[in-house]
Chain A
Amino acid sequence: MRLKTRRLLDRAFSGMGLIAIGVMALALVVILTPIISKGTGAFVFRSTIEHRKVMSDHWGRGNADRVEKAKGQAAAARKPVYDLLSAFESELDTMPRAERKPYKKPLRDLQKALQNLLGPAPGARTPVLIRQQYGATRWDRAKIKLDEVLYTEEWDYSNPEVLGVLVKTPRVEQFCGTKLEPLFAYVEENSKPMMQPRWTFYWQFLFDTSKDSHIFGGIGPEVLGTVYLTLGAMIFAIPMGVIAAIYLCEYAREGRVISFLRICISTLAGVPSIVFGLFGLAFFLNTIHISDSKSVLAGALTLSLLILPTVIRASEEAILAVPRTYKEAALSLGAGRWHTVMTVILPAALPGILTGIVISMGRAAGETAPIIFTAAVSVGRPLLPSQVLSNPTPALPWNIYNLCTEHEAVDEIRHVQFGMVFTLVAVVLLLNVVAIIMRAKISKKLRG
């Protein structure tokens, strides 16, 4: 082969590596972009008057006068809609029965769509479910609801060769020549005065409890539950992990027993997370009955077993990275082994150990499978610290799964789902960035 070709191949080879790294970075960007861009939408969004109503009714937030004023403006803008509806209803009453009938169902559909957009009509009975008491709280949802008022959607399956096609027809066609006809143009033009959209920073999303299965409110109980589980797992995992690392590095003499222990640790690291969940169920709950039902305690114990190998390995690495001269200096001054470990080696290894702990905290916060059977419930109140020993809790990872697969109105609460994923990912990434910075500092210190 020519030298030139060989060089070209060489360059192509390097290029392939670079492409691989590029693909990896691209995957990271592609995965994080929607999570971040849509996740921030749970916090910063254009809220409608309905959102402000919910806030003031259920949390007592917002300036009461201003909310009343905005409510008044919105009601004024909405009045023609209801006037047109009642005019149409009285027109219907005058019609002969046969003509009246074809309008019955379209009218009911329209009223339903309007209720989804604006909330119940003034003077109507207050519905039982909170979700029916208010219209669309977010402007982006309101625009979709507006579309549903203006158009009817139907799936066309007439051509068997292709999948169903979505056909949108203007709803106004159903009411041609009636008093209701101008309603659609009015609604389309006056959607903003009717909904009063305004940019809002809803930071309380992080701390609010949810109302009516996450349709209103925030993710407070989930965040709190995740904090409990993570801290609980760390309480058990840190002492055990660090002690095990100290023993393995400083005390143990390499031999059969130690290599056996090491095999155990690496096996523990390889156990699938769902198996940890089953083990937690079988051991903590069904065998030693640590609590009557699922509980934060059982979940934290299960999680702590899961992150134990990570903590042990990170601590071991940190301890081994302490220069030998430190240890020798301490020993030569007459310090005992224990004394050396406590006063010289551990302080020197502490930043490294902390880095490992921070990373495993991120892991514990994000794991779902181990807490499914041991700690997590879909809906719950925020727990008091005194309840963690016996009560289950909602937690971010589990509720992300639950809301995007098992919730009855998956599309209505996309923003809550994205908000939860965003919160979880942000917490984990923050912990990791802290760890990366800490590690950079340590390596600088060790080098210089």
Chain B
Amino acid sequence: MLPHSKIKIQNSMTPPLQSSKRSLVMNASTSRLRRLGGLLGQGFLFSVTSLSTLTVFFIFYFIAKDAFPFFKLEGFREFFTSTRWYPSGDPAEFGTMAIFFGTGIVTLGAVAVSVPLGVSAAVCLSDVLPFNARQIVKPVIEILAAIPSVAYGFFALVVFAPLLQNHGGAVLAAGACLMMAPLLVLLVVVASDLIADRCSDLMRRKARWVAGLVLGAAAFTLMTYIGRQLGAIEIASGANALNVSIILGIMALPTVVSVSEDALQAAGRDLREGSYALGATRAETILKTVIPASLSGILAAVILGVMRAIGETMVVWMASGNAARIPGPWYNVLEPVRTLTATIAGDMGEADHVTGSSRFHVLFAMAFCLLAFSFVMNLVSEGIVRRSRKKLGK
């Protein structure tokens, strides 16, 4: 407001300027017009902004509008408690327990893949790698995030599923050994060191060697045993929960990495320097100081990763096998499952012609559950991030 009032004062004091063609100084009516124009413009900007953001309400309204007729027609009980999904049967059955379960197990698998990998990668990015190396790794993450989901699904269906089906045991064994080997080596070294610490000074060196050898042999036997056991497994169908979990985990990685890296960065330098000053190594600093300080941010990253996995359609539709039942023992990830998103995508083609039937509306009911879940998750992660920011004083 200040510039305007000044202009007015000038205006009354220097009349000759008004005569020039494009005066630098506005008279009162132009000023008022401008201000009105500004207000109108601002109103326009505000309405466009709110229109684009209020789409969320449109989405909620229109999904709910088509979802509630289902509950009116069929009630809540069957939908949430039965595992029998026969939408085209006579009488039709709409039990979605198995489908919810499929979504759950696939998401759990994706979290199991993406969170350990993602958080360690984020730690490495924020605390270990030098700046230049980071500039190389970042595009890798961006490209992983950019590959379209249908390409991931295509890979899962055309490349990964046949591989699992034909050489399932070997793939599992190789994967498990690759993952276990570094961890076991580490474990053996640390354990033998701890044992050696308890011996007297004279014996220490020898004790370390003996303990290392014995523990190493034990670890090696364990690994070969597990490898053999896994190698004997034959996978009946490559399109199963394991396949989808791994691919979804890779898809969720970029989200987990970038959000948790932000959280680790936000923990601040002074915290790290304080810990170093007390004599802690980098690993101790990160594990005991930085990660506890940024735990809420990492939690938000996990939630966002979960949301990415739950909402994904193409990969699960193409490669999960789409069998609407709970697998043998429930934790058997080698059996096909069916998820909410895949059911919506797959059944709408047939239900489209019968708009208004419960078969059509049940898909909207599922979509509404997805929507509500992602809304709640989103609020939770937002809240966590905001609180942690306040705590860190930023």
Contact = CB atoms under 8 A, between A and B. Distances in A.
A346 interface: no
A5 B55 CA distance: 57
B146 A282 contact: no
A31 B59 contact: no
B78 to A, nearest CB: 21
Nearest to B287: A13
A276 B144 CA distance: 23
Contact of B149 (A18, A270, A308, A368): A368
A274 interface: yes
B148 A270 contact: no
What is the predominant secondary structure among interface residues of chain B facing chain A? helix
Contact of A270 (B24, B52, B157, B377): B377
Given A400-B154, A404-B318, A244 B345 contact: no
Given A405-B157, A428-B147, A336 B38 contact: yes
B56 A268 contact: yes
Given A6-B284, A25-B140, A261-B53, A278 B344 contact: yes
A417 B58 CA distance: 36
A102 B41 CA distance: 88
A425 B182 contact: no
A352 interface: no
B159 A244 contact: no
A195 to B, nearest CB: 26
B284 A275 contact: no
B66 interface: yes
Contacts of A15: 182
Contact of A286 (B250, B355, B374): B355
B310 interface: yes
B172 interface: no
A369 B314 contact: yes
A401 B287 CA distance: 44
A385 B187 CA distance: 65
A305 B45 CA distance: 18
B317 A401 contact: yes
B215 interface: no
Given A274-B311, A373-B348, A432-B143, A279 B54 contact: no
B36 to A, nearest CB: 13
Contacts of A251: 42, 45-46
Interface size class of B (residues with CB under 8 A): 35 or more
A378 to B, nearest CB: 11
A272 interface: yes
B66 A247 contact: no
B286 to A, nearest CB: 7
Contact of A417 (B41, B158, B314, B355): B158
Given A266-B378, A432-B143, A31 B152 contact: yes
A275 B158 contact: no
Contacts, number: 279
B55 A268 contact: yes
A17 B150 contact: no
A163 to B, nearest CB: 7
B392 interface: no
Given A35-B151, A278-B363, A21 B137 contact: yes
Nearest to A278: B367
Contacts of B318: 401, 404-405
Interface residues of A, number: 95
Interface stretch (B15-23, B86-94, B117-125, B330-338): B117-125
B124 A14 contact: yes
B311 A20 contact: no
Contacts of A349: none
B282 A13 contact: yes
B63 interface: yes
B141 A24 contact: yes
Interface in A230-271: 239-241, 243-244, 246-248, 251-252, 261, 263-271
A432 B190 CA distance: 44
B34 interface: yes
A76 interface: no
B51 interface: yes
Contact of A247 (B48, B65, B117, B287): B48
B137 A264 contact: no
A264 to B, nearest CB: 4
Contacts of A368: 148-150, 313-314
10 contacts: A5-B193, A20-B124, A21-B124, A21-B125, A23-B117, A25-B140, A243-B45, A368-B314, A369-B314, A373-B352
Interface of B: 3, 24, 34, 38, 41-42, 45-46, 48-59, 62-63, 65-66, 116-118, 120-121, 123-125, 128-129, 137, 139-144, 146-155, 157-159, 182, 186, 189-190, 193-194, 197, 234, 236, 250, 253, 257, 281-284, 286-287, 304, 307, 310-314, 317-318, 341, 344-345, 348, 352, 355, 363-364, 367, 370-371, 374-375, 377-379, 382
Given A21-B124, A432-B146, 8 more contacts: A14-B283, A21-B121, A247-B48, A338-B41, A368-B313, A397-B150, A417-B158, A424-B148
- A-B interface, 7 closest residue pairs, ranked by CB to CB distance from nearest: A366-B148, A17-B124, A272-B311, A13-B283, A264-B53, A20-B120, A20-B121
